[in-house]
């Protein structure tokens, strides 16, 4: 017996709506839970507005030892100073990596924007010696909020702003990252209190 045409017309929209309901209720992915595939990660998608930026160095334990094969989460605001593309969206420029056998890491992105606080990159070590912090960055030759609290980043001949900076949870120097409260994963506070950046350590050798 042929299926009544009126029922097909009535049920088709209901079936479409049923597909939408699970999608609408799906939780936003926590980028921390992604599985790293390399010791370096690209945070900015192709075509992302902003100037190219790279940050690299060694991830260290609180004792200063290089943390090999360790999962690290990094994120920052986009060139406009926003962490998300929509009010309820996930972090826009975020990713995880796993340090190499020497504890090295590298991120490729666009230069972080500012929202009244110095531009900065957040980081969280998720394994071995957990901890978090952030690095305030300022392009060489440009003005920035609280410039004395920012690390100057130089622009290479290829036009990329590059910074070498070691990440060390629990570092006991002035403005230790261990004293910083990690911001909310999906909604970092827009008016975070000003916290000076860590004093740069010797990362040569």
- Count structural domains, the chain: 1
> Does residue 196 lie within any of the structural domains?
no
Give domain status of residue 81, yes or no: yes
What pLDDT shows up at residue 103? Answer: 96
Instruction: Kindly report the CATH number assigned to the domain that includes residue 107.
Output: 2.60.130.10
Q: Does 128 reside within a domain?
A: yes
Average pLDDT over residues 73-88: 88
E strands, the chain, where? 40-42, 52-58, 71-76, 93-98, 104-110, 120-125, 131-139, 151-155, 161-164
Determine, yes or no, domain membership for 7.
no
Q: Would you call 77 exposed, middle or buried from its count of C-beta atoms within 10 A (0-12, 13-18, 19+)? A: buried
pLDDT at 188 > cutoff 70: no
Domain-located, residue 202: no
In this prediction, residue 205 has a pLDDT band, given cuts at 50, 70 and 90, of very low
pLDDT bracket for residue 106 (50, 70, 90):
very high
Stretch 75-103: mean pLDDT: 90
Task: Say yes or no to pLDDT of 28 above 50.
Answer: yes
Look at residue 2 and tell me if it is in a domain.
no
Whether 201 maps to a domain, the answer reads no
Report the C-alpha dihedral over residues 181, 80, 93, 112, rounded to 10 degrees.
-70
The per-residue pLDDT of the chain, averaged, comes to: 75
| pLDDT of res. 73 | 95
pLDDT for res 142: 83
Per-residue confidence at 87, pLDDT binned at 50, 70, 90?
confident
Domain holding 138, by residue range, is 31-179
Mean pLDDT for the stretch of residues 143-165: 85
Checking if the pLDDT of 25 tops 80, the result is: no
Residue 69 covered by a domain: yes
* pLDDT over threshold 80, residue 52: yes
């Amino acid at each position: 017996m042929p299926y009544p045409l009126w029922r097909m017309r009535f049920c088709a929209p209901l079936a479409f709506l049923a597909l939408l309901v699970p999608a609408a209720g799906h939780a936003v992915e926590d980028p921390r839970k992604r599985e790293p595939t390399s010791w370096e990660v690209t945070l900015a998608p192709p075509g992302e507005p902003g100037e190219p930026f790279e940050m690299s160095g060694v991830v260290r334990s609180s004792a200063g030892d290089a943390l090999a094969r360790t999962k690290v989460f990094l994120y920052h605001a986009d060139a406009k100073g926003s962490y998300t593309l929509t009010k309820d969206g996930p972090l826009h420029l975020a990713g995880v990596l796993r340090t190499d056998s020497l504890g090295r890491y590298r991120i490729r992105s666009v230069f972080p924007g500012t929202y009244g606080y110095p531009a900065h990159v957040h980081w969280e070590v998720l394994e071995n010696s957990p901890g978090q912090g952030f690095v305030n960055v300022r392009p060489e030759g440009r003005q920035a909020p609280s410039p004395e609290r920012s690390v100057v980043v130089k622009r290479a001949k290829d036009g990329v702003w590059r910074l070498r900076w070691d990440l060390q949870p629990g570092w006991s120097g002035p403005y230790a990252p261990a004293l910083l409260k990690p911001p909310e994963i999906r909604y970092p506070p827009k008016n975070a209190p000003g916290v000076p950046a860590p004093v740069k350590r010797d990362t040569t050798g």
